[in-house]
C-alpha cells in the first residue's frame, strides 16, 4: 500500500472513532439527566411553599404548593406534576376555597451541557442541573420569576 493511502486510511479511522466516541459521550450526558426529580423548594421556601397566581379575570390569588415532581425521560419528554391549594379573595368562605388540586404540564426538553430547555403548552423555560439538583425557573416577560428546586431521586 502506498504511503498516501495509509495516511488517508488512518485519518479516516481517527475521524470515525472521534465521531463515535463524541456521540456516545453526548448521549451519556443526556441520559444522565433522565429521571424523577422531587420538588423541595419554591422561591427559597421549603414545601409547603407560598406563591402567587392570577386567574383568567386578573384576580391575584395565593397559591400554596404542597408537592411536586418533574419527570425527564431518555427520549426528551418531560412532565411536571404539582399539587397545590389556591386561595382567592373572591372565594371568601366558599366551599371551594383552598381546595387541593393537581396539575400536569406535559412537554419536551433538550439539553446542552448542564442547561436544560423545557417546552410545554405554556411556553419555554430554562433549568440548570448540578449533580442531583435541578433548578427550574419560569416566568419573566412582565411576570414574576418563580424558582423551583428539585432533587433527583
Distance, CA of 104 to CA of 119 (rounded, Å): 13
Q: Which residues pair with 118 in a beta bridge?
A: 109, 125
Position 120 scores a pLDDT of 94
Q: Which residue has the higher pLDDT, 10 or 71?
A: 71
Q: Which residues pair with 104 in a beta bridge?
A: 81
- Say yes or no: 56 and 116 in one domain: yes
Evaluate whether 68 touches 43 at the Cβ level (below 8 Å).
no
- Say yes or no: 10 and 85 in one domain: no
User: Is 118 a residue whose pLDDT tops 60?
Assistant: yes
- Say yes or no: 6 and 61 in one domain: no
- Say yes or no: 54 and 70 in one domain: yes
- Say yes or no: 93 and 41 in one domain: yes
- Say yes or no: 3 and 62 in one domain: no
Q: Which residue has the higher pLDDT, 108 or 54?
A: 108
- Say yes or no: 123 and 68 in one domain: yes
- Say yes or no: 19 and 43 in one domain: no
Domains of the chain: total: 2
User: Is 1 a residue whose pLDDT tops 70?
Assistant: no
Distance, CA of 56 to CA of 39 (rounded, Å): 26
Range in 24-33, 124-133, 142-151 with the lowest mean pLDDT: 24-33
pTM: 0.71
Domain containing residue 22: 1-33
CATH number at residue 125: 2.40.128.300
Evaluate whether 33 touches 145 at the Cβ level (below 8 Å).
no
- Say yes or no: 127 and 62 in one domain: yes
Dihedral sign, Cα of residue 44, residue 45, residue 47, residue 49: negative
| pLDDT one-digit tens code per residue, 88-114 | 887 665 555 677 999 999 999 999 999
Position 19 scores a pLDDT of 37
Position 6 scores a pLDDT of 47
Amino acid at each position: 500500500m502506498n504511503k498516501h493511502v495509509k495516511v488517508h486510511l488512518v485519518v479516516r479511522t481517527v475521524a470515525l472513532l472521534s465521531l463515535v466516541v463524541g456521540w456516545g459521550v453526548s448521549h451519556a450526558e443526556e441520559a444522565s439527566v433522565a429521571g424523577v426529580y422531587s420538588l423541595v423548594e419554591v422561591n427559597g421556601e421549603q414545601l409547603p411553599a407560598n406563591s402567587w397566581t392570577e386567574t383568567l379575570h386578573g384576580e391575584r390569588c395565593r397559591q400554596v404548593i404542597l408537592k411536586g415532581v418533574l419527570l425527564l425521560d431518555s427520549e426528551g419528554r418531560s412532565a411536571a406534576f404539582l399539587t397545590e391549594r389556591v386561595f382567592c379573595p373572591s372565594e371568601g368562605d366558599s366551599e371551594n376555597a383552598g381546595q387541593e388540586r393537581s396539575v400536569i404540564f406535559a412537554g419536551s426538553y433538550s439539553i446542552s451541557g448542564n442547561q436544560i430547555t423545557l417546552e410545554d403548552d405554556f411556553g419555554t423555560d430554562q433549568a440548570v442541573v448540578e449533580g442531583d439538583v435541578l433548578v427550574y425557573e419560569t416566568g419573566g416577560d412582565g411576570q414574576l420569576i418563580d424558582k423551583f428546586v428539585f432533587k433527583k431521586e
